[in-house]
């Protein structure tokens, strides 16, 4: 067997952290080199951040925006390891700081590591380009479990970006992220976001193209959290030998050139 890739898991006690560790342990190409959580949190088999930085070729980071930025800057400052970041809810400034860190180390960042969502992004871009904005409204609906803290989801924002790219418009200028009360009629060209939270829903995303006499809806449903973990571990194996740069799951899946 060829050499295994040493992978550490940040946020190891979280929902994704636990799923990620399981997938790494089950993959013969990977070795679970370290698991760590919030500084000061101890637990069986947990190391600290310094131990993880020293042991890992790649760290899987599904934590919080603040933790991901701090980790990216720390890793960049010492020239590694590479990172696979899945945290969502990042501000534009936090996204910029991760991009700056990626000038010194390899970082994969995506709001969704599933194959289906990454394929859906291409379909949404294509549909948005084909359907004239004056006749077709775009609305994005996402549903997640009751414990999710950010909204709209990272995936919903990626799908909104894909729709905006298809229409060659700036998402910031057309995004409609909250409606309540007397909102006035829908502004032509807006891309709307709607958010549901409840129970244990892993993640559902729909993009509706609404015309006057017909609607077209593209939907992705995640059936199990391990889906994202398997995609993230595939990204870790992919990025382990990459040079500095900011990559996404479309790079990992080889979808960029199609
Ligand atoms: N890109 C994708 O495909 C996916 C992305 N996500 C995203 O991943 C993130 C995590 O989701 P989820 O696992 O459900 O959340 P959880 O809250 O269950 O897990 C996050 C974990 O990270 C820990 N943590 C917080 N700060 C640090 C730190 N500085 N260093 C190390 N660990 C830290 C948390 O500790 P504490 O509880 O003490 O705060 C917690 O244990 C979210 O942003 C979510 O949206 C989720 C699924 C898929
Ligand atoms: O918090 C979650 O659970 C999820 N977060 C990601 C997002 O914000 O899009 C991906 C997935 O939908 C699950």
Decide if 121 is inside a domain. Answer: yes
**Per-residue pLDDT tens for 30-47?**
999 999 999 999 888 999
Query: Are 109 and 120 part of one and the same domain?
Result: no
Beta-strand ranges (E) seen in 44-102 are: 58-61, 82-85
Query: Are 28 and 103 part of one and the same domain?
Result: yes
**Per-residue pLDDT tens for 88-118?**
999 999 999 999 999 999 999 999 999 999 9
Query: Are 69 and 146 part of one and the same domain?
Result: no
Query: Are 25 and 104 part of one and the same domain?
Result: yes
Average pLDDT for the chain: 97
> What is the reported pLDDT for 104?
98
Query: Are 70 and 127 part of one and the same domain?
Result: no
Among residues 133, 141, 177, 132, which one has the least CA distance to residue 159?
141
pLDDT confidence tier of residue 2, bands split at 50, 70 and 90: low
Q: Tell me, yes or no, if the pTM score tops 0.95.
A: yes
Report residues whose beta carbon is within 6 angstroms of any ligand 2 atom.
Answer: 88, 111-112, 144, 148, 153-155, 203
Query: Are 108 and 121 part of one and the same domain?
Result: no
Which atom, in ligand 1's list, is nearest to the CA of 111? 1
> What is the reported pLDDT for 256?
82
Domain containing residue 237 = 5-113+225-252
Question: How far is 187 from 166, CA to CA, in rounded Å?
Answer: 18
Q: Is 47 annotated as a binding-site member?
A: no
Query: Are 131 and 167 part of one and the same domain?
Result: yes
Query: Are 92 and 37 part of one and the same domain?
Result: yes
Q: List all residues 6 or more positions away from 98 whose beta carbon is below 8 Å from its beta carbon.
A: 68, 69, 72, 85, 90, 107, 109, 246
Task: Point out the catalytic residue in the list 74, 144, 173, 242.
Answer: 144
Report residues whose beta carbon is within 6 angstroms of any ligand 1 atom.
Answer: 10-11, 13-17, 36-38, 62-64, 67, 86-89, 110-113, 150, 154, 228
Tally of domains within the chain:
2
Angle at 250 between CA 246 and CA 254, to 5 degrees: 110
pLDDT confidence tier of residue 184, bands split at 50, 70 and 90: very high
Residue 148 is a catalytic residue: yes
Rg from Cα positions in the chain? 19
Residue 242 is a catalytic residue: no
pLDDT confidence tier of residue 79, bands split at 50, 70 and 90: very high
The CATH number of the domain holding residue 58 is 3.40.50.720
Query: Are 70 and 121 part of one and the same domain?
Result: no
Torsion angle in degrees (nearest 10) through CA of 145, 18, 150, 59: -160
Decide if 24 is inside a domain. Answer: yes
**Per-residue pLDDT tens for 115-158?**
999 999 999 999 999 999 999 999 999 999 999 999 999 999 99
Among residues 75, 49, 108, which one has the least CA distance to residue 235?
108
Query: Are 17 and 142 part of one and the same domain?
Result: no
Determine the distance from the C-alpha atom of residue 242 to the mean position of all C-alpha atoms in its chain, rounded to a whole number: 19
> What is the reported pLDDT for 124?
98
The CATH number of the domain holding residue 124 is 3.30.360.10
């Amino acid at each position: 067997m060829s050499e295994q890739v040493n992978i550490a898991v940040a946020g190891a006690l979280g929902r994704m952290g636990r799923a990620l560790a399981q997938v790494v342990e089950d993959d013969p190409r990977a070795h679970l080199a370290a698991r760590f959580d919030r500084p000061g949190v101890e637990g069986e088999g947990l190391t600290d951040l310094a131990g993880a930085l020293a042991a890992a070729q790649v760290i899987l980071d599904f934590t919080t925006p603040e933790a991901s930025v701090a980790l990216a800057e720390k890793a960049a400052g010492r020239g590694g390891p590479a990172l696979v970041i899945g945290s969502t809810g990042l501000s534009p400034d936090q996204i910029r700081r991760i991009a700056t860190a990626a000038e010194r180390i390899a970082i994969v960042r995506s709001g969704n590591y599933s194959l289906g969502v990454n394929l859906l992004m291409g379909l949404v871009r294509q549909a948005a380009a084909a359907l004239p904005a004056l006749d077709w409204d775009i609305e994005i609906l996402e549903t997640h479990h009751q414990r999710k803290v950010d909204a709209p989801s990272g995936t919903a924002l990626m799908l909104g970006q894909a729709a905006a790219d298809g229409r060659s418009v700036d998402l910031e200028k057309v995004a409609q992220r909250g409606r309540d009360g007397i909102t006035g009629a829908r502004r032509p060209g807006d891309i709307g976001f709607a958010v549901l939270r409840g129970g244990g829903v892993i993640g559902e995303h729909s993009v509706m193209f609404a015309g006057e006499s017909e609607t077209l809806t593209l939907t992705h449903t995640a059936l199990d959290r391990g889906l994202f973990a398997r995609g993230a571990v595939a990204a870790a194996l992919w990025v382990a030998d990459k040079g500095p740069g900011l990559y996404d799951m479309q790079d990992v899946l080889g979808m960029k050139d199609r």
